[in-house]
Amino acid sequence: MKTLFIEARSNIEIKLPSFAYSKLPKNIALLTTVQHIHKINEVKKQLEKNKKKVSLLKGKHSKYKGQILGCDVLHLKPNKNIQAFLYIGTGVFHPKELLLTQEKPVFIYNPVSKKFYELDKKEIASIKKRKKGAYLKFLSSKSIGVIISIKPGQYNLKQALKLKQKYKNKRFFYLLFDTVDLNELENFPFIECFVNTACPRIAYDDAIKTKKSIINIEDVL
């Protein structure tokens, strides 16, 4: 069965507040979701008029330059010239992932509320703490469950199989899902720890719903 993706566009005007330019460093990576991607060049021009150098990054799965997807953040190529990220959009789902993986300042402009602010590093302190604990649990565990999603863009069986090669002293049990339901993990009481190969946010946000540790495959390979 074919899947049809229909891109929804927002008609909200995006104009950065004047004080934002003094807060932002000179070299910026500009990112937004597909709802606002048609406005990204307008925002880029606003920044350049205020003497900012703007980069539009493209992830592994994104269609457009400057478009951000949750599963793409880990695959953004490091750029030492970029001093900070500017995210245009609502919510902090994507900005949190940027701050956690890229470790550079992340600024947010919400075109709905018209608020501009820098994401506080305290937002990810608890995530980093859980990540460290999950890694230690993985190292000490013998029976590991590997979460695999068959959804397009999240299917990483080849990566998952590399675990057997690297950690020959552990037993790996491969669990395939369409939509990952963490409640189902309770059916495997003999598994001590889980490795997530699907959306990386499962290990950060959704893991708090489970009793056992979940770590992303990138953190153990």
The CATH superfamily holding the domain 125-219 is Diphthamide synthesis DPH1/DPH2 domain 3 (3.40.50.11860)
Q: Where are the beta strands (DSSP E) in the chain?
A: 27-32, 53-55, 84-88, 106-110, 115-118, 143-149, 171-177, 193-196, 214-216
Confidence category of residue 59, pLDDT binned at 50, 70, 90: confident
Of residues 217, 69, 70, the one with CA closest to residue 144: 217
Which residue would you say has higher pLDDT here, 130 or 31?
31
Instruction: Name the token pair of 93.
Output: 């789902």
Say yes or no: do domains 20-119 and 125-219 share a fold: yes
Q: Where are the domains of the chain?
A: 20-119, 125-219
Of residues 65, 76, 71, the one with CA closest to residue 38: 65
Each residue's pLDDT tens digit, 72-126: 665 676 678 899 999 999 988 888 888 887 888 999 999 999 999 999 888 788 8
Q: Report the pLDDT value the prediction gives residue 98, as an integer from 0 to 100.
A: 85
- Give the DSSP H/E element, type plus range, for residue 201: helix 201-204
Asked which of 91-95, 132-136, 202-206, 209-213 is least confident by mean pLDDT, the reply is 202-206
* Cα(102)–Cα(29) distance, integer angstroms: 11
**CATH number for domain 20-119, candidates 3.40.50.360, 3.30.1330.40, 3.40.50.11850, 1.20.1530.20:** 3.40.50.11850
Rg of the chain over CA atoms, in angstroms? Answer: 19
Each residue's pLDDT tens digit, 138-159: 999 999 999 999 887 788 899 9
